[in-house]
């Protein structure tokens, strides 16, 4: 197939006005093109939500569509984006068989790679050098990989962000020719870090950056886009397929009760469990319920207040009791374990470590100099002390509450004991003699 040379003579579109992530598919069976943006991901299967009778998938594209008349379905208005003709691709203002799908739902989010706080203050002027290699950055956007190199020189955080943004959007896949576009790079002076945001959105959008550690870019987590998750209420049915409702008495019935408000009445959904705290506040589930009206494209968020909920008469028992905290306690004693850890025992049953006793060992323990009955000092013969923990190799363990064996001179102590015994005997003899003399004197006077 050949065609005439293509000459761009339309209005110039600035780079920042372009759109990214639009997908074009061709169906060879129907010989038609499909143009679509990334979907928001909130696909709803038929009959899986109120008012949804056929499969639905949302799209966040909202340009170039027809506005159809609600009376006969004819085209009521067409945007200027579809007034041209392209018979080759089957689109244009004169193509009445062109169809457009109304966009709906919540917008998907872009991928973000958030760097850590930089080691340097990037609000001040700093220098990047090709010699140090801190001006090179490895970047991957939606599977397109490239190495970005900014010129060596002086920067601040904001100017480096501008330089990175320009060069990242120039990355091209050498095989497919696909280019990166729409990526934005910003610098936050408050947190002193860089934030990289992709130009596309949705689960397929990814961005990864690796750079110098001084810039906080040495370990940046992979950024992945996301799509909103819509939880729809599904009305329960009985075994015969009849829809179930809840009447004013809390009974499950198949007939709709009187509406509380016009066109609104309570219906029955699948059984579940609600968890409340002591004040009656709902703890679980915390999700806000969303209702999708497929006819009018309206999304409603329902945040239900369970403050006035009551429990119907039925068997009730405590499933579990969890203790959070302890009563106050007083110090009840201290203990030292074999590893030398000093622990404090309290009357409330708590046991907290306070510290640890260290031990000293010597290469030649016999070389220690004794300066008291149980006191020694290091000498040149014993060597310097080697400090360690009890239980480590060469240090042994600590036996708390045990008595140390005698380390005194037994001969000297025995001599002292005999001397003390003789002194005691001499003193006793002197007292006995004094008593005898006193009695004799008393008898003579009498």
Structure token pair of residue 38: 């990334």
Is residue 101, in this structure, part of any structural domain at all? no
Structure token pair of residue 140: 């991957």
Is residue 184, in this structure, part of any structural domain at all? yes
Is residue 378, in this structure, part of any structural domain at all? yes
- DSSP E strands: which ranges in 115-192? 126-128, 136-141, 144-149, 153-155, 184-188
Average confidence (pLDDT) over 241-264: 75
Average confidence (pLDDT) over 229-253: 76
- Sign (positive or negative) of CA dihedral 318, 322, 323, 324: negative
Q: Is the pLDDT of residue 168 over 90?
A: yes
Question: Is residue 379 within 8 Å of residue 369, measured between CB atoms?
Answer: yes
Question: Domain limits at 372?
Answer: 331-389
Average confidence (pLDDT) over 290-296: 48
Residues sharing a CB contact under 8 Å with residue 357, sequence separation 6 or more, in sequence order: 336, 340, 341, 342, 390, 398
Is residue 81, in this structure, part of any structural domain at all? no
Higher pLDDT, 351 or 405: 351
Q: Is the pLDDT of residue 204 over 70?
A: yes
Total domain count, the chain: 2
Q: Which residue has the tokens 């068997």?
A: 315
State residue 54's pLDDT score: 60
Return the exposure string of 84-121: e unless at least 16 CB atoms fall within 10 Å of the residue's CB, then b.
eeeeeeebeeeeeebebeebbbbbbbbbbbbbbebeee
Q: Is the pLDDT of residue 1 over 50?
A: no
Higher pLDDT, 59 or 327: 327
Most confident option among 49-53, 66-70, 195-199, 401-405: 195-199
| pLDDT digit string, tens, across residues 298-317 | 555 666 676 666 666 566 66
Distance (Å, whole) CA 156 – CA 24: 41
Q: Which of 340, 359, 389 finishes a domain?
A: 389
Q: Which of 170, 203, 224 finishes a domain?
A: 224
Q: Is the pLDDT of residue 294 over 50?
A: no
- Among 285-289, 320-324, 396-400, the least confident range: 285-289
Q: Which of 389, 413, 429 finishes a domain?
A: 389
Return the exposure string of 235-255: e unless at least 16 CB atoms fall within 10 Å of the residue's CB, then b.
eeeeeeeeebbeeeeeeeeee
Distance (Å, whole) CA 238 – CA 245: 10
Question: Is residue 59 within 8 Å of residue 103, measured between CB atoms?
Answer: yes
State residue 80's pLDDT score: 41
State residue 41's pLDDT score: 46
Is residue 312, in this structure, part of any structural domain at all? no
Q: How many CB atoms lie within 10 A of CB 56?
A: 17
Question: Is residue 44 within 8 Å of residue 55, measured between CB atoms?
Answer: yes
Given pLDDT bands bounded at 50, 70 and 90, which one contains residue 259? low
State residue 277's pLDDT score: 74
Given pLDDT bands bounded at 50, 70 and 90, which one contains residue 230? low
Least Cα distance to 185 among 150, 153, 160, 214 occurs for 160
Distance (Å, whole) CA 239 – CA 249: 22
What angle (nearest 5°) sits at the alpha carbon of residue 143, between those of residues 42 and 59?
20
Is residue 36, in this structure, part of any structural domain at all? no
Distance (Å, whole) CA 283 – CA 274: 8
Q: What is the DSSP code (8-state) at residue 368?
A: P
Question: Is residue 188 within 8 Å of residue 201, measured between CB atoms?
Answer: no
State residue 141's pLDDT score: 93
Higher pLDDT, 117 or 315: 117
Question: Is residue 4 within 8 Å of residue 71, measured between CB atoms?
Answer: no
Q: Is the pLDDT of residue 78 over 50?
A: no
Is residue 321, in this structure, part of any structural domain at all? no
| pLDDT digit string, tens, across residues 23-36 | 677 778 877 777 66
What percent of the chain is predicted at pLDDT more than 90? Answer: 20
Average confidence (pLDDT) over 343-354: 88
Given pLDDT bands bounded at 50, 70 and 90, which one contains residue 124? very high
Is residue 234, in this structure, part of any structural domain at all? no
Least Cα distance to 37 among 196, 223, 182 occurs for 182
Higher pLDDT, 393 or 263: 393
């Amino acid at each position: 197939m050949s065609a005439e040379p293509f000459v761009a003579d339309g209005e110039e579109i600035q780079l920042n006005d372009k759109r990214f992530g639009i997908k074009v598919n061709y169906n060879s069976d129907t010989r038609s093109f499909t143009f679509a943006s990334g979907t928001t991901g909130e696909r709803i299967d038929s009959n899986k939500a109120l008012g949804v009778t056929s499969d639905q998938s949302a799209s966040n594209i909202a340009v170039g569509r027809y506005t159809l008349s609600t009376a006969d379905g004819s085209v009521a208005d067409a945007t200027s984006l579809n007034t041209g003709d392209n018979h080759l691709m089957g689109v244009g203002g004169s193509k009445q068989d062109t169809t457009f799908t109304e966009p709906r739902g919540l917008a998907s989010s872009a991928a973000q790679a958030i760097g850590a706080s930089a080691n340097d203050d990037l609000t001040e002027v700093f220098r990047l050098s090709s010699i140090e290699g801190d001006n090179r950055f490895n970047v991957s956007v939606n599977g397109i990989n490239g190495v970005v190199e900014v010129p060596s020189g002086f920067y601040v955080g904001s100017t480096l962000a501008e330089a990175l943004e320009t060069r990242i959007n120039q990355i091209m896949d050498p095989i497919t020719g696909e280019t990166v576009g729409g990526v934005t790079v910003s610098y936050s002076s408050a947190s002193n870090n860089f934030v990289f945001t992709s130009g596309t959105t949705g689960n397929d959008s990814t961005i990864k950056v690796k750079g110098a550690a001084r810039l906080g870019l040495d370990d940046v987590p992979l950024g992945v886009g996301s799509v909103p998750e819509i939880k729809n209420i599904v009305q329960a049915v009985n075994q015969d397929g009849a829809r179930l409702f809840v009447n004013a008495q809390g009974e499950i019935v198949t007939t709709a009760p009187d509406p509380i408000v016009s066109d609104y009445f309570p219906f029955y959904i699948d059984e579940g469990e609600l968890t409340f705290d002591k004040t009656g506040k709902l703890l679980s589930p915390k999700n806000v319920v969303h209702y999708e009206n497929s006819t009018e494209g309206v999304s409603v968020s329902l945040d239900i207040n369970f403050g006035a909920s009551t429990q119907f008469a039925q068997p009730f028992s405590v499933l579990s009791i969890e203790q959070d905290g302890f009563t106050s306690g007083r110090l009840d004693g201290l203990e030292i374990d074999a590893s030398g850890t000093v622990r404090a025992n309290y009357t409330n049953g708590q046991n907290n470590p306070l510290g640890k006793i260290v031990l000293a060992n010597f290469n030649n323990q016999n070389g220690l100099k004794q300066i008291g009955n149980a006191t020694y000092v290091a000498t040149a013969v014993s060597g310097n002390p080697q400090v360690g923990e009890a239980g480590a190799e060469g240090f042994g363990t600590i036996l708390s509450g045990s008595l140390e064996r005698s380390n005194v001179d037994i001969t000297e102590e025995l001599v002292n004991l005999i001397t003390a015994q003789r002194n005691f005997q001499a003193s006793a003899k002197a007292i006995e003699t004094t008593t005898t003399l006193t009695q004799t004197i008393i008898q003579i006077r009498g």
